[in-house]
DNA sequence: GCAAGGTC
């Protein structure tokens, strides 16, 4: 009997379906001489410090550098404290029994570094010695699965991938556990002051932006706005220049040739420019873009969005949500017309779905090379009945975005009118001449400035129009906005793009900080540590957060570059470079940061949480 | 009591 193990139940089910196996058993599926079982993500984790004899949080244990790491079963928090997750234990027992009976093991965890780690930790924990083959596919259509099975690779081909994954895992443990204990102990051991490769740069970004915002000195400046009348249609124009002093602006104001000053037609049109601008449809959603959108439109936190999406996914209404790709392959695209046609009667989207079934679809989101472990988020086409408000709203974002993505360009006409009336004024307005994808949600453009005109009348060069009103505008320069969940997620995704070192920037180019699956959890961790708090929609540092930031802000652990340098080395390990060398560097770094942190003091008198 | 990674 051959055993296939997937990363999660949904993938095992898909593969089993392709094989025509449909006997359901407890923890696996069976049929056609195969069994199809699964993990639930990481079932095993690196064992905590006490399993190496490092008891309590004690300076004598630091730095903690286990000679050999152990694995332990994933834990879960209950009212009786932290215990082994019984569901995980049960699944491990099932996998063990299946492996024992297996003539061959086929690894079908996700095609990537963590997928490899998920399997290998199970394999080594169960002390399995049987050889295994690797299924390596990047989409889960029938054809891709069949093809993958015709091209199974020897398991050993992925040994270096496992090495890099294991190094990532150990390095995060060494740096995170030691830095956390060192900082907490040196600050009096009154509360957990955690540090880590991802959470600390994230905290630093929030703190730096907060301080920049708080210390920003706004500059006062002035402009003059006038209103013109074209056959009864009034529109706004604003002075081309802005002025540092009120006096300068008042001079300009007085020079305006408006009706009240005795000029019946004092607005002289000197130029009219109209340019069409094409706006391509947006890409399909990945998790991060959907979290950002749901935060902007509905105010959901990243964690709430993830929870709702997981729920829709378990109800088979949407495809896998924790994806980092905004593309689909040609195989999935082939099914899109049929999928869209299922929404022809949808109360909100029916009209656009019907429109699209009669038109050639845009292919901006179709690119097989940009599909990694999972493709972009799509509805499955299953009918969705009586969803709760939140789930319905989220589902609509997914369906709506699908329609947008395969829709046509939006064509806008951007008009700029220049007017002389004592000095130079400009009026601008944007008119949508063909809505294209924008007709799906039919929402107003987000970033419309105050001075923009919703529509402009048709005017010609050399026309003279009456100026019916004029006003002095007092304005201030604005600081960069504080982070909210949407902008922070975006910043985490693009973290590393500003790194000067070409190699480090390259190493981070596809990753950023954290992963789609973990970013919501990172934000929640910072909140749980009382490092940051939500205030309205913004994320603000607390006094504790700022104090920790002050201690570590110049250290490598507070910088995205640390991830860049690890990613570079991990990629080298994947292509065969020495594991020991990197591990030794990490140990050296762990010793040094532990030493540094043990000297620190928390310079804030904030109330601490008692130790549990 | 700690990391970051994955998932139900």
**Tens digits of residue pLDDT in A53-104:** 999 999 999 999 999 999 999 999 888 888 999 999 999 999 999 999 999 9
Closest C-alpha among A510, A517, A519, A531 to residue A492: A519
Q: Please state, in angstroms and rounded to a whole number, the distance separating the CA atoms of residues A229 and A457.
A: 9
The distance (Å) linking the CA of A191 with the C1' of B1 is: 8
Q: A295 and A172, same structural domain?
A: no
Q: A515 and A561, same structural domain?
A: yes
Closest C-alpha among A163, A168, A180 to residue A54: A180
CB-CB contact of A401 with A407 (8 Å): no
List A410's β-bridge partners, or say none.
Answer: A279
Q: Please state, in angstroms and rounded to a whole number, the distance separating the CA atoms of residues A552 and A597.
A: 8
Which residues, 6+ apart, have CB-to-CB distance to A311 below 8 Å?
A391
**Tens digits of residue pLDDT in A409-424:** 999 988 899 999 999 9
**Tens digits of residue pLDDT in A569-612:** 999 999 999 999 999 999 999 999 999 999 887 665 445 455 44
pLDDT of residue A79: 83
Does residue A116 surpass a pLDDT of 60? yes
The distance (Å) linking the CA of A45 with the C1' of B7 is: 13
Q: A209 and A232, same structural domain?
A: no
**Tens digits of residue pLDDT in A291-316:** 999 999 999 999 999 999 999 999 99
Q: A433 and A394, same structural domain?
A: no
Please indicate, yes or no, if residue A593 is contained in any of the structural domains.
Answer: yes
Residue that is last in its domain, among A371, A405, A439: A405
- Closest residue to B1 measured CA to C1′: A192
pLDDT of residue A241: 93
Please indicate, yes or no, if residue A610 is contained in any of the structural domains.
Answer: no
The distance (Å) linking the CA of A386 with the C1' of B5 is: 35
- Closest residue to B2 measured CA to C1′: A177
Q: A146 and A8, same structural domain?
A: yes
User: In 10 A of CB A367, how many CB atoms?
Assistant: 16
Closest C-alpha among A201, A11, A228 to residue A106: A11
Residue that is last in its domain, among A124, A151, A178: A151
Secondary structure string (H, E, C) spanning A239-300 = ECCCECCHHHHHHHHHHCCCHHHCCCCCEEEEEEEEEEEEECCCCCCCHHHHHHHHHHHHCC
Residue A353's domain is classified under what CATH number? Answer: 1.10.290.10
- Closest residue to B8 measured CA to C1′: A40
Q: A235 and A140, same structural domain?
A: no
The CA-based angle A147-A153-A156, given to 5 degrees, is 160
Does residue A170 surpass a pLDDT of 60? yes
User: In 10 A of CB A549, how many CB atoms?
Assistant: 21
Does residue A442 surpass a pLDDT of 90? no
Q: What is the mean pLDDT of residues A215-233?
A: 94
Residue A165: exposure state from Cβ atoms within 10 A (0-12, 13-18, ≥19): buried
pLDDT of residue A603: 66
Q: Where are the beta strands (DSSP E) in A13-161?
A: 23-25, 28-31, 34-38, 44-46, 71-73, 75-78, 81-84, 104-108, 132-134, 153-154
Q: Please state, in angstroms and rounded to a whole number, the distance separating the CA atoms of residues A65 and A52.
A: 9
Domain that holds residue A522: 165-215+481-598
Please indicate, yes or no, if residue A606 is contained in any of the structural domains.
Answer: no
**Tens digits of residue pLDDT in A533-562:** 999 999 999 999 999 999 999 999 999 999
Tokens of A478: 């604005």
Please indicate, yes or no, if residue A158 is contained in any of the structural domains.
Answer: no
- Closest residue to B4 measured CA to C1′: A172
Secondary element (H or E) of residue A225? strand A220-230
Does residue A283 surpass a pLDDT of 60? yes
Confidence class for position A446, pLDDT limits 50, 70, 90: low
Which residues, 6+ apart, have CB-to-CB distance to A396 below 8 Å?
A348, A349
Q: Please state, in angstroms and rounded to a whole number, the distance separating the CA atoms of residues A571 and A507.
A: 8
Q: A536 and A436, same structural domain?
A: no
Residue A78's domain is classified under what CATH number? Answer: 3.40.50.140
A557 nearest nucleotide via C1' and CA: B3
Q: A328 and A383, same structural domain?
A: yes
A107 three-class SS: strand
Q: What is the mean pLDDT of residues A25-48?
A: 96
Closest C-alpha among A122, A119, A121, A117 to residue A133: A119
A115 nearest nucleotide via C1' and CA: B6
Sheet holding A464-465, edge to edge: A464-465, A267-279, A410-420, A424-434, A233-239, A220-230, A467-476
Which nucleotides of chain B are near protein (any atom < 7 Å from a CB)?
Answer: 1-8
Q: Please state, in angstroms and rounded to a whole number, the distance separating the CA atoms of residues A333 and A447.
A: 32
Residue A264's domain is classified under what CATH number? Answer: 2.70.20.10
Q: What is the mean pLDDT of residues A275-285?
A: 94
Provide the annotated active-site residues of A.
320
Q: Please state, in angstroms and rounded to a whole number, the distance separating the CA atoms of residues A419 and A462.
A: 9
CB-CB contact of A550 with A543 (8 Å): no
Number of domains in chain A: 4
What is chain A's mean pLDDT, rounded? 93
Q: A451 and A338, same structural domain?
A: no
* Choice between A216 and A498, residue whose per-residue pLDDT is larger: A216
pLDDT of residue A611: 45
The distance (Å) linking the CA of A462 with the C1' of B8 is: 69
pLDDT of residue A448: 59
Tell me the pairing of strands A538-541 and A104-108.
unpaired
Cis status, amide bond into A63, omega within 30 of 0: yes
- Percentage with pLDDT > 70 across chain A: 97
CB-CB contact of A310 with A41 (8 Å): no
Q: A128 and A19, same structural domain?
A: yes
The distance (Å) linking the CA of A115 with the C1' of B7 is: 12
Confidence class for position A449, pLDDT limits 50, 70, 90: low
A522 nearest nucleotide via C1' and CA: B4
Q: What is the mean pLDDT of residues A474-491?
A: 95
pLDDT of residue A510: 76
Please indicate, yes or no, if residue A605 is contained in any of the structural domains.
Answer: no
A507 three-class SS: helix
CB-CB contact of A319 with A14 (8 Å): no
A174 nearest nucleotide via C1' and CA: B3
Please indicate, yes or no, if residue A495 is contained in any of the structural domains.
Answer: yes
Q: Please state, in angstroms and rounded to a whole number, the distance separating the CA atoms of residues A111 and A146.
A: 15
A42 nearest nucleotide via C1' and CA: B6
Closest C-alpha among A429, A425, A417 to residue A455: A429
A576 φ/ψ sector (left φ>0, alpha ψ -120 to 50, else beta): left
Does residue A273 surpass a pLDDT of 60? yes
CB-CB contact of A514 with A493 (8 Å): no
Q: A308 and A205, same structural domain?
A: no
Q: What is the mean pLDDT of residues A212-227?
A: 95
Please indicate, yes or no, if residue A330 is contained in any of the structural domains.
Answer: yes
Please indicate, yes or no, if residue A609 is contained in any of the structural domains.
Answer: no
Residue A196's domain is classified under what CATH number? Answer: 1.10.460.10
Tokens of A128: 């399995």
The label of the residue with tokens 């086929």 reads A106
pLDDT of residue A18: 95
Q: A572 and A463, same structural domain?
A: no
Q: Please state, in angstroms and rounded to a whole number, the distance separating the CA atoms of residues A70 and A66.
A: 9
Secondary element (H or E) of residue A430? strand A424-434
Confidence class for position A506, pLDDT limits 50, 70, 90: confident
């Amino acid at each position: 009997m051959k055993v296939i193990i997937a990363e999660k139940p949904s993938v095992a089910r898909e593969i089993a379906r392709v094989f025509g196996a449909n006997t359901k058993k407890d923890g696996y599926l069976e049929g056609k001489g195969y069994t199809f079982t699964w993990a639930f993500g990481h079932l095993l984790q690196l064992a905590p410090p006490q399993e190496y004899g490092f008891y309590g949080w004690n300076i004598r244990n630091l730095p903690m550098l286990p000679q050999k790491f152990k694995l332990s079963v994933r834990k879960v928090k209950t009212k009786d404290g932290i215990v082994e997750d019984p569901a995980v234990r049960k699944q491990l027992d099932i996998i063990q029994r299946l492996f024992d009976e297996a003539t061959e093991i086929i690894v079908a965890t996700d095609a990537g570094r963590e997928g490899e780690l998920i399997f290998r930790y199970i394999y080594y924990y169960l002390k399995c010695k049987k050889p295994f083959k690797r299924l390596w596919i990047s989409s889960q259509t029938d054809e891709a699965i069949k093809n993958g099975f015709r091209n199974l690779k020897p398991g050993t081909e992925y040994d270096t991938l496992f090495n890099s994954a294991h190094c990532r895992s150990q390095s995060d443990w060494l740096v995170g556990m030691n830095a956390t204990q060192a900082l907490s102990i040196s600050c009096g051991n009154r509360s957990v002051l955690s540090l880590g490769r991802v959470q600390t740069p994230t905290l630093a970004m929030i703190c730096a932006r907060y301080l920049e915002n708080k210390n920003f000195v706004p500059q006062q400046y002035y402009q003059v706005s006038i209103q013109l009348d074209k056959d009864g249609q009034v529109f706004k124009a604003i002075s081309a220049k802005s002025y540092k002093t009120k006096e300068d602006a008042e001079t300009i104001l007085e020079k305006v040739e408006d009706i009240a000053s005795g000029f019946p037609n004092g607005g002289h049109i000197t130029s009219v420019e109209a340019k069409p601008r094409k706006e391509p449809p947006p890409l399909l959603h990945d998790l991060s873009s959907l979290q950002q959108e749901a935060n902007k439109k509905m105010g959901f936190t990243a964690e709430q969005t993830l929870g709702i999406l997981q729920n829709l996914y378990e109800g088979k209404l949407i495809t896998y949500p924790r994806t980092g790709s905004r593309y689909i392959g040609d195989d999935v695209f082939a099914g899109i017309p049929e999928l869209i046609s299922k929404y022809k009667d949808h109360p909100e989207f029916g009209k656009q779905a019907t429109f699209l079934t009669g038109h050639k679809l845009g292919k901006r989101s179709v690119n097989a090379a940009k599909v990694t472990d999972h493709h972009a988020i799509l509805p499955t086409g299953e009918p969705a009945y009586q969803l709760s408000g939140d789930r319905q709203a989220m589902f609509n974002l997914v369906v709506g975005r699908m329609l947008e993505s395969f829709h046509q360009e939006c064509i806008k006409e951007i008009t700029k009118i220049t007017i002389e009336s004592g000095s130079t004024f400009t009026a601008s307005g944007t008119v949508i001449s063909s809505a294209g994808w924008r007709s799906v949600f039919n929402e107003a453009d987000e970033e419309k400035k105050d001075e923009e005109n919703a529509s402009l009348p048709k005017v010609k060069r050399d026309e003279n129009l009456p100026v019916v009103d004029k006003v002095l505008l007092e304005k201030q320069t604005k600081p960069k906005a504080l982070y909210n969940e949407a902008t922070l997620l975006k910043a985490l995704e693009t973290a590393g793009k500003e790194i000067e070192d070409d190699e480090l920037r390259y190493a981070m180019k596809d990753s950023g900080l954290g992963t789609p699956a973990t970013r919501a959890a990172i934000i929640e961790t910072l909140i749980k540590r009382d490092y940051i708090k939500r205030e309205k929609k913004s994320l603000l540092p607390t006094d504790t957060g700022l104090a920790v930031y002050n201690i570590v802000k110049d250290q490598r652990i507070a910088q995205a570059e640390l991830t860049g340098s690890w990613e570079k080395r991990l990629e080298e390990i994947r292509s065969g470079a020495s594991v020991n060398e990197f591990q030794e560097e990490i140990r050296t770094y762990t010793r040094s940061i532990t030493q540094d942190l043990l000297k620190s003091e928390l310079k804030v008198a904030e109330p601490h949480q008692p130790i549990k």
